[in-house]
Amino acid sequence: MISINLSGKNALVTGGTGELGRVLARNLAKCGANVALHYFKNQARALDLQSELSSGGRKIVIVQANVTDSLSVTAMQKTLQQDFGPVDILVINAVEQYPWKSILDQPVEDFEGQFQACVMQSVLLCKAFVPAMIAKRWGRVIGINTECAMQYQKLQSAYVSGKRGMDGLLRVLAREVGEHRITVNQVAPGWTITEKDRVNRTEKQPDYEKSVPLKRRGEDQEIAHAVAFLASDLASFITGAYIPVCGGNVMPAI
């Protein structure tokens, strides 16, 4: 039987208290990883999740940081190095929310904010945590991208530009660190069903679903499965990939 075993690995999930982040963290812990839960403002939710996951016997820590600020990320790295250990699996998941508007109406600050959240978060986290992976000659960097990066839909300009910048950065990183047995990949969810949808009963979105070849929205757990796979040795020869997990709604072409 093939299974995903992350025992002995330390994973950091940024945005670990968010709708998707919580599921990513739970899944990595179920696969055996110790998990560092990053949060920005919601300490109470982070503590609740830490309590929940600690019952499984894994080492679970919480850490606060502004992932777009260099000093804050450096402080997070030092805290984790002391209290948690070197990070083997880095999941870049934190996002910044803002109203979507046309390019002409979108405030410039939103473009800058998405650049900070997508590109600079990735730069700062990689500078902080990849050197330890190089020293161990093993590591996984997994960015959470989006199907939107291939769609170019109206009102998505700031989000798409930020995520495409993230894509370019991580593909270059994959070339630069591959010789150290570090893989760098991206998971690109579609419009995913999360716990908020289940509570609000908004899982069904017919207008969106009709464009998806599988005729449904994906589940958050399905995104988490893809992340766990890329974090494992089962994916040891996959790097530089952008993998849509969106039911075929976007299909990278050769």
Q: What is the pLDDT of residues 4-22, one digit of tens each?
A: 999 999 999 999 999 999 9
Query: For position 96, which CATH number holds?
Result: 3.40.50.720
- pLDDT of 155 over the 90 cut: yes
What's the average model confidence in pLDDT over 140-155?
97
Whether 207 is in a domain gets the answer no
- In this structure, the number of other CB atoms found within 10 A of the CB of residue 90 comes to 27
Considering the domain boundaries, does residue 150 fall inside one?
yes
In the chain, pLDDT over 70 holds for what percent of residues?
100
CA distances (Å), origin 190, targets 184, 211, 214, 247: 20, 11, 12, 8
198 lies in some domain: no
Place of tokens 């998707």: 20
Per-residue pLDDT of 65-108, as tens digits, reads 999 999 999 999 999 999 999 999 999 999 999 999 999 999 99
- With respect to residue 5, please indicate whether it lies within any of the assigned structural domains: no
Q: Which residues are catalytic?
A: 159
In a domain, 211, yes or no: no
Structural domain total, the chain: 1
pTM of the model: 0.96
Mean of the per-residue pLDDT values for the chain?
Answer: 97
Q: Is residue 208 part of a domain?
A: no
- What pLDDT is attached to residue 49? 96
Q: What is the pLDDT of residue 182?
A: 98
Does the pLDDT of residue 57 top 90, yes or no?
no
Residue 155 lies in a domain: yes
Supply the range of the domain harboring residue 85: 10-190+220-244
Look at residue 125 and tell me if it is in a domain: yes
pLDDT value of residue 56: 81
Taking 90 as the threshold, does the pLDDT of residue 55 lie above it?
no
